[in-house]
Structure 1
């Protein structure tokens, strides 16, 4: 039956064309965004998982940045201690030279004074991002913590890991004014004669003579500087171990971010080869649909010939 009120062929062609246009729009959106799932309406489950993983990835990226700062701070402190050990060793060598009777200890002290100023400058300059692990106060907390990890459990709860740095073992100069204040370099060295105490940073041999008492005090200074060098060596080893741990954790964080990117991509990324092939097919279907709709609409015109 032919009807001018209801053109079944045109309605069918129109419905097919609308469906094709909808699929074509979806394919074009995937090609333009590169995503198979770009919103919750595409796939609610995958979109939710991908959104959570992206947020976690951003948090891990922040942790990686924090680890980078911590690694740089540890490296600066380590370099400062290594330089401090070299300078302290030179001071000890000068003291050993001063142990020889008859030498001009005032001139040797001039050299020692310059080395002491260099040592103070090295300790004060071993700072990164406003933190100096070599020059701290014993009145404050004896540890610094660095955020080292971020993870999410199966129940959705997050956990944050930290790496602790013991500043008491790396403190070369104590900025505290308390009675018990003292780092490795400003710790008291008792004189053998019981005449008082000195530190590596302020010892003075210019007034010492070749008496038994003065030579005993000089030997006490040598022993005190040598003990400070040993403690600085231990502190450098501690900082080296901390830096190694930080670097390992940073490498793991970077690998974890790459794995998350890969996992998210497998969930939501579009296969461009598949989508390009699909686009070509849909464009052909769209053209055929338009032609079919045109033919269906022309069929109604043939009814007019019956009334001529």
Structure 2
């Protein structure tokens, strides 16, 4: 049936053209943004997941910065600790040499020891990074007792967030007690009980004191050995922390890249596919316009029925 009131062919062609234009708009949007899920309306579930993961990755960026800062602090302390161990070794050698030396030679040796003791203090004072010195801390503090380095930002299946940390206990790395309690490995005092009895530490011992005998020197050496043993333990603590921080830095970097890839798989547009789709839709659009033009022309043909 031919009708001038209802052009069914034109309506069908128009609906098809509208659908094509809508799909073309979507494809052009994906090409311009590079994303197939740019807004929640595109795919609410994927958009929500991607938004959460992007937020977590921003937190991972903060974690990477914290790890970098923590690594620098621990590395600085580790370097100074190893240097201090070498200096204390030299002091031990000087004390051992002084045991069988004359009083005049002991005075000269003490001059060398005093230089080494000053070097120790300089090493430790210089082990400060960003306001933290793990080798010179206050044993009387009840709040500042450890270095805490953030290592991870974790979200469980229920959405609960937790923060992973690495802690370095100051009591295991303290060489000098900044609180004055003399609890550090170098300022911890020991007492010799020989003829030249004295109360001293590695930083204050004096091999030129009057009346020192073999027992005094043996006890000095014992005090030095105890300090060296504690320092070796402290160096191992710092070395382990340094190794773990370095591994965690590498892991967080790879994790961040993995999350970026995962988000991309959810929301990024396949540009090869979208390019092909764009060309197909453009052809469909042209055909739709042509079909609508033909359908609209059908009404004009009705006029020929009424021509004489």
- Range into which the TM-score falls when normalised by the shorter chain: 0.7 to 0.9
* 1:244 alignment counterpart: 243
> What is the aligned residue count?
303
Q: CA deviation at 1:215?
A: 4.6
- Whether 1:21 and 2:21 are equivalent positions in the alignment is yes
1:61 is the counterpart of 2:61: yes
- 1:233 Cα deviation after fit: 0.7
**TM-score after normalising by structure 1:** 0.88
Question: In the alignment, what sits opposite 1:121?
Answer: 122
Q: CA deviation at 1:256?
A: 2.6
Per-residue displacement from partner, 1:84-133 (whole Å, max 9, x unpaired)?
00111111122222223225223222222221121111111112222111
SS in 2 for 1:39: coil
Cα distance in structure 2, aligned partners of 1:59 and 1:16: 47
Aligned alpha-carbon RMSD (Å): 2.4
- Are the counterparts in 1 of residues 176 and 182 from structure 2 also a CA contact under 8 Å? no
Q: TM-score, normalised by structure 2?
A: 0.88
Write the mapping of 1:59-208 to structure 2, written as runs, cut at 5 A: 59-102=59-102, 103-140=104-141, 141-177=144-180, 180-193=181-194, 195-205=197-207, 207-208=208-209
Gaps of 5+ in 1: none
Aligned pair 1:48/2:45, yes or no? no
- Deviation string, structure 1 residues 198-218 (Cα, Å, up to 9, x no partner): 22222233x435x5x345434
After TM superposition, the structure 1 stretch with the greater mean CA deviation from structure 2, 269-278 or 294-303, is 294-303
Task: Give yes or no for contact 1:208–1:214 (8 Å, CA) kept in 2.
Answer: no
> Unpaired segments of 5 or more residues in structure 2?
none
Which deviations, in whole Å up to 9, do the C-alpha atoms of 1:48-89 show, x marking residues without a partner? 122122222222332232222222222211111100001111
Native 8 Å contact 1:87 1:119 kept in 2: yes
2:151 alignment partner, SS class: strand
User: C-alpha separation between the residues in 2 aligned to 1:135 and 1:57?
Assistant: 36
Measured in 2, the distance between the counterparts of 1:298 and 1:117 equals 103
Deviation at 1:6, TM superposition (A): 4.5
1:285 Cα deviation after fit: 1.1
Contact preservation (8 Å) 1:77, 1:134: yes
1:230–1:73 Cα change, 3 Å: same
- Aligned-pair distance for 1:281? 0.3
Bigger Cα displacement from structure 2, 36-45 vs 92-101 = 92-101
Distance (whole Å) between structure 2 residues aligned to residue 149 and residue 110 of structure 1 = 50
For 1:296 and 1:117, locate their aligned partners in 2 and report how far apart those are by CA, in whole Å: 100
Deviation at 1:299, TM superposition (A): 4.4
Residues of 2 paired with 1:101 and 1:181: CA distance? 30
Q: Distance in 2 between matches of 1:185 and 1:196?
A: 16
CA–CA distance in 1 between the matches of 2:89 and 2:56? 49
Q: Structure 2 CA distance, aligned partners of 1:283 and 1:128?
A: 62
Give the secondary structure class of the aligned counterpart of 1:168: helix
Please give the per-residue CA displacement for 1:110-157, whole angstroms capped at 9, x wherever unaligned. Answer: 222221121111111112222111111012243222222222222221
Q: Which residue of 2 is the match for residue 32 of structure 1?
A: 32
Aligned to 2:263: 264
